[in-house]
Structure 1
Amino acid sequence: MTEVHIDRNDPVIRSFTKLLDERGIALSDRQLEQFELYYRELVEWNEKMNLTGITEREAVYIKHFYDSLSLAFFQDMSQVESLADIGSGAGFPGIPLKIAFPHLKLTIVDSLNKRIGFLRHLGETLGLADIQLVHGRAEDIARTPEHRDHYDAVTARAVARLAVLNELCLPFVKVNGWFTAMKGAAGEEEVKESTRSIRELGAELAHLHAFQLPMEEGNRYMVVLTKKKSTPKAYPRKAGVPLKAPLS
């Protein structure tokens, strides 16, 4: 891993660690170094390809890193061995969760090969192990035996509305595992329009958590679904169909 010196009195680091401490997440100096390296690589690569519209340092720490880790405020990550992040983009929330919880065996699925290239470089730069990067559409990857009904936990952040996400993500979850969708202010409304997809895909709503991000107004939601039976063979439908004709 590239050497980075961390000053815990740095205002951004101090605020970040304080906010996480309040949620019961303590980070070592090495983990903080990994987050700072992540920030630097994100900004550098963002000049070559569109990874994020957020590049100001404090905003990245709160709106990307802290926001990604917020999943762990509501789910016990010590009980999760395998985690799949679907449509991860620049690595959110999967990479921050992997940094904070190194025991995770992380799989990231993304349809853009350039982003997979960035994530491969990032994993090597941060010295992260047990990361599998899969290039492809979720609808196609979810039909492969090594990924279907396979993961303890699956998550997605800012990918699509819940009725679509359920079809893209639930096929990856093992029976009795969970899928957590990280949603914005419309989360409650999206749950209501997703009852059909939840039922047809063999899941049930376990929790709907509302919370607020520091620096932001308005609610965020964690939608936690528990998978009760294997995904029916009809799902997911062909690539592109869930988005065009959601199960809502």
Structure 2
Amino acid sequence: MKHQITYQDYEWESAGIKELYQKKKYALEDYIDRLLWWNRKVNLISRSVSRETLQKHVEHSLSLSAIKEVKEASLIVDAGTGGGLPGIPLAIVLDSKKLILNDVVEKKLMAVKQIAMQLGLSERVKVVAESVERLRESDFVLVSKHAFKVNELYAMVKDQDWKDMILLKGRDEVEGELKGIKEALKIRILDLYGARKDGFYEGKALVIIKRGENEKR
């Protein structure tokens, strides 16, 4: 099956992510502090990660917020959220959106639920500890940060009512991870490094996946 794949640079300047980070800096830094505190008790992220690197991971997560499909979403599902990335930063900056943070590791989600509560996000953020393939939501945008191969995640949710799948992944991983997907997909790969040349983003991309016209639910 032939997929339609296009490559572009992510437009950092027009996205305004650094400005958005500064605008919501207090809440985002509060999240980082709480994530580091909980990480000493529950293995949410690498124990060796620095605060500076975590700030980069939060900014990386925020790159999703400038995408049209995310802006227009009524519900965002974060699959394989781990310590709440990208879901919690998105909930902080997209303050009218409802989100479901999903993972199969219950003790991670116990901590994420507490973090969301401490940040005052509980009314809009729901935590679900089960496989994403068991979710029964409608008309949602599915996001994930380095948690799945494309074909593995697609196999889990191919029969669900998602509008778009938007993944933070390695730029050169995507085409090799389409094996086994029978449906024709429209895929836009936005290179996060090209227009910025920040070493943290080297090889990283934001990947927008849409079903072909015949596969829309």
TM-score, length-scaled by structure 2: 0.79
Tell me the alpha carbon deviations over residues 144-172 of structure 1, each in whole angstroms, 9 at most, x when there is no partner: xx32xx13311111112211121234444
Secondary structure in 2 matching 1:197:
coil
Distance 2:210 2:59 in 1: 24
What corresponds to 1:159 in structure 2?
Answer: 147
**Farther off after superposition, 219-228 or 28-37:** 28-37
Determine which structure has the larger strand proportion and give its number.
2
Secondary structure in 2 matching 1:89:
coil
The answer to whether residue 191 in structure 2 is matched with residue 210 in structure 1 is yes
The answer to whether residue 74 in structure 2 is matched with residue 86 in structure 1 is no
Distance 1:164 1:65 in 2: 25
For structure 1, the residue ranges without an aligned partner over 5 or more in a row are: 1-19, 232-248
The answer to whether residue 42 in structure 2 is matched with residue 45 in structure 1 is no
Higher relative contact order (CA 8 A, sep 6+): 2
Question: Quick check: 2:146–2:168 contact (8 Å CA) kept in 1?
Answer: yes
What corresponds to 1:179 in structure 2?
Answer: 165
Distance 1:28 1:182 in 2: 18
What corresponds to 1:24 in structure 2?
Answer: 16
The answer to whether residue 106 in structure 2 is matched with residue 125 in structure 1 is no
Q: Which runs of 4+ in 1 moved over 6 A?
A: none
Distance 2:94 2:182 in 1: 28
What is the aligned length?
199
Assess, with a 3 A threshold, how the Cα gap between structure 1 residues 121 and 196 changes in structure 2: closer, same or farther: same
Question: Quick check: 2:76–2:141 contact (8 Å CA) kept in 1?
Answer: yes
Assess, with a 3 A threshold, how the Cα gap between structure 1 residues 123 and 40 changes in structure 2: closer, same or farther: same
The answer to whether residue 101 in structure 2 is matched with residue 113 in structure 1 is no
Tell me the alpha carbon deviations over residues 175-228 of structure 1, each in whole angstroms, 9 at most, x when there is no partner: xx11012111433xx3244154161xxx62241211227342622122211134
What corresponds to 1:61 in structure 2?
Answer: 55
For structure 2, the residue ranges without an aligned partner over 5 or more in a row are: 1-11
Question: Quick check: 2:151–2:181 contact (8 Å CA) kept in 1?
Answer: yes
Q: Which amino acid aligns with 1:152?
A: F
Question: Quick check: 1:84–1:151 contact (8 Å CA) kept in 2?
Answer: no
The answer to whether residue 187 in structure 2 is matched with residue 194 in structure 1 is no
Assess, with a 3 A threshold, how the Cα gap between structure 1 residues 217 and 230 changes in structure 2: closer, same or farther: closer
Question: Quick check: 1:180–1:224 contact (8 Å CA) kept in 2?
Answer: yes
Assess, with a 3 A threshold, how the Cα gap between structure 1 residues 39 and 110 changes in structure 2: closer, same or farther: same
What corresponds to 2:204 in structure 1?
Answer: 220
Assess, with a 3 A threshold, how the Cα gap between structure 1 residues 173 and 221 changes in structure 2: closer, same or farther: farther
Question: Quick check: 1:98–1:106 contact (8 Å CA) kept in 2?
Answer: yes
**Aligned mate of 1:134, from 114, 124, 128:** 128
